Amino acid sequence: MKRILSGIQPSGTLTLGNYIGAIKQFVELQKQHPDAEFYLFVADLHAITTEQEPKDLRQRIRQVAAMYIASGLSLEQTTIFIQSEIKEHAELGYLLQCHTYMGELERMTQFKDKSKKQTTGITASLFTYPALMAADILLYDADYVPVGEDQKQHLELTRDIASRFNNRYGDFFKVPEPLIPKVGARIMDLQNPAKKMSKSDASDKGYISLLDEETSIKKKIRSAVTDSLGIVAFDPENQPGVANLLTIYASLTDSTIEAITKKYQGKGYQEFKNDLADIVANTIMPIQKRFFEIMGSKELENLLDKGKEAAQMVAYRKVEKCKQKIGLGRKK
């Protein structure tokens, strides 16, 4: 049976970028692979690589878990859990750090970008982050890892670490394949289309949160930065704002970019944006409704307890065997 695994950090409220690049893909993959097992977790250990307010973090952890459920994942097929509740993530993370080179971590663009944004207080864990992410994946022998474009480099490193370990100690880790959507793997900021839409951004004008009110969602789409050309065409270089809106449109309606540009031929941006505003709101509002129901119910706690138990068993066995392979402890 194939195993598909992914995680999302509770570092802010989930955005439309997270939905299109990650969550929507999970739901589609479940339909395509009804016999696959899904492991989806809340990457709270990753979130604390940058400073978090404990009260907010605790709330966001539950929110990410509830958002997974609200997005329509099949609960029979999915193990949903919280990363920090399974100690083996941190343990294997350390073991893998011992098999990861400084040079590899220094090349990671996420580290370069995030450390550039801060002048002080850059934590050691922000640097070693990819080794923990490799542990998240290799613990569960995942076959596929659906993620957005920004995580591709971390996935490549995970594959390198797994292969290195296998070469040194004999076949042990499954070498995972990334799954990156063809359209929507990198949704850009609505106010600055040169930059990725990000939930931990200081200003909320450039992103649509999955918890935004309907009027605010529509307003953000209508006031998204475009250009003065006035042609609905897909030209990421010269019309990055419009290209981004076209990408959002295509992924939420499952139509092709060509079909959409044809539809708006000879029409201005206003009609295009108004239609897209409705499409985005009609996608998010039902998810939001279910989200609030889940947050107020017992269902979430029960699911997370069940998820913890199931993940724990797999993770414990894998780490014990990994330590033996390396020669740690007394067991042979």
| Near ligand ATP in 120-159, by CB under 6 A | 147-148, 150-151
Q: Distance between CA atoms of 69 and 297, rounded to whole angstroms?
A: 12
Residues 39, 142: contact at Cβ < 8 Å? yes
Nearer to ligand LTN (CB atom), residue 37 or residue 136: 136
Sheet arrangement for strand 78-82:
78-82, 37-42, 3-8, 144-146, 177-179
Catalytic residue among 31, 87, 114, 218: 114
Question: 306 catalytic, yes or no?
Answer: no
Catalytic residue among 24, 196, 218, 318: 196
**77 touches which of ligand ATP, ligand LTN, none (CB within 5 to 8 A by kind)?**
none
Q: To the nearest whole angstrom, how small is the minimum distance from the Cβ of residue 87 to ligand LTN? A: 16
Verify binding: residue 244, ligand ATP, rule CB under 6 A: no
**185 touches which of ligand ATP, ligand LTN, none (CB within 5 to 8 A by kind)?**
ligand ATP
Q: Distance between CA atoms of 173 and 157, rounded to whole angstroms?
A: 14
% helix / strand / coil in the chain, to the nearest 5?
55, 10, 35
- The one among 3, 21, 132, 140 contacting ligand ATP by CB under 6 A: 21
Nearest-Å Rg of the Cα atoms of the chain is 21
Binding letters toward ligand ATP, positions 184-213, x by CB under 6 A:
-xxx--------xxxxx-------------
**136 touches which of ligand LTN, ligand ATP, none (CB within 5 to 8 A by kind)?**
ligand LTN
Q: Distance between CA atoms of 247 and 253, rounded to whole angstroms?
A: 10
Question: 196 catalytic, yes or no?
Answer: yes
Q: Distance between CA atoms of 268 and 265, rounded to whole angstroms?
A: 8
Instruction: Write out the catalytic residue numbers.
Output: 114, 196, 199
